[in-house]
Amino acid sequence: MNDQRKYVVSCQACSLNALCVPHSLTESEVAIVDAAVKRSKPIQRNKTVFEAGDKFASLYTVRSGAVKTYSVDQEGDEHVIGFYLPGEMFGLDAISSGQHISSAKALETTAICEIPYNRLEELSAQIHNLQTHMYKLLSHEISEDQQLQLLLSKKTAEERIGNFLLGLSSRYRLRHLSPTSFRLPMARTDIGNYLGLAVETVSRIFTRLQKSNILQVDGKEVRILDQHRLCAVAHVDDADLFHGHGHGTLAAGVHAEPIRVGNIRKF
């Protein structure tokens, strides 16, 4: 009990508050949501939150650490679906079938908030702001998935990695962490898998960007030395940098701007 208590915070006191809880919820509404949230103690690297086939019962958000979701095919090969940072919600794909179709695993020591889906459904019928936000959250995830499809179907390896790094950068900025200097929570293999590239390609492009003095890479530590040129490499307009990146959170869509879709490689 004591052991657990030190990890337990309320939504009201949580530092991710602004990111995770809709700011349009009133204090009392947040309190109601808060009462439904289960906070367990941190789980270790490589421990799963849920696995494909598990009964769907809850949605999850990352409190600290990082999570990847993935599926495993018949041949036993893993396919990375997404990465989640503090304040981001995952497990949304399981609502439709009532069963998890992907697995979720901690990339490092990670604390998770769990919100029982039944309860969330009830609450969203009562709290209009919550319903609005859940719809936006789900819709936002769809938009981002479609953006990723575009990335995967039309962009070069360099563009994919550029976009990926800029996306992470944005997400760290939102969390008031350095957008230019951060640690990749995932392995190169995971990055390649996620972006549809061979590990070797990821590696080569990292070193290429390093040689161009756009990036400084030391293992998982990354420093963006020249954001402007990184944008150029990724074919991303600098002006778009502050929008559209990152996974859904309860607040997703609230701050969202129309997402520019441009910058695709011509064939």
The partner in contact with residue 72, picked from DNA, a copy of itself, none with C-beta cut-offs of 5 to 8 angstroms by kind, is a copy of itself
- Residue 265 within binding range of DNA, rule CB under 7 A: yes
Residue whose CB is less far from a copy of itself, 56 or 64? 56
User: What stretch of H or E contains 138?
Assistant: helix 128-154
What is the Cα–Cα distance from 179 to 181, expressed in whole angstroms?
6
What is the Cα–Cα distance from 187 to 184, expressed in whole angstroms?
8
Site string (183-212) toward a copy of itself, x via CB under 8 A: -----------xxx-x--------------
The per-residue b/e assignment along 97-114, b for 16 or more CB within 10 angstroms, e otherwise, is eeebebbbbbbbebbbbb
Q: Cα Rg for the chain, rounded, in angstroms?
A: 19
The 3-state DSSP class for residue 176 equals: coil
- Residue 262 within binding range of a copy of itself, rule CB under 8 A: yes
Contact criterion met (CB below 8 Å) for 90 and 57: no
CA distances from 68 to 3, 65, 105, 170 (A): 26, 11, 5, 18
- Residue 153 within binding range of a copy of itself, rule CB under 8 A: yes
Site string (11-50) toward a copy of itself, x via CB under 8 A: ----------------------------------------
Distance of CA 224 to the CA centre of its chain: 20
What is the Cα–Cα distance from 103 to 50, expressed in whole angstroms?
6
CB 119 → a copy of itself: shortest distance, Å? 13
- Residue 212 within binding range of DNA, rule CB under 7 A: no
Binding segment (CB under 7 A) for DNA, from list 88-96, 98-106, 213-221, 239-247:
213-221
Binding segment (CB under 7 A) for DNA, from list 31-39, 71-79, 139-147, 204-212:
204-212
* Residues making contact with a copy of itself (CB under 8 A): 52-53, 71-75, 77, 79, 81, 92-97, 99, 101-102, 121, 124-125, 128, 131-132, 134-143, 145-146, 148-150, 152-154, 194-196, 198, 237, 252-253, 256-264, 266-267
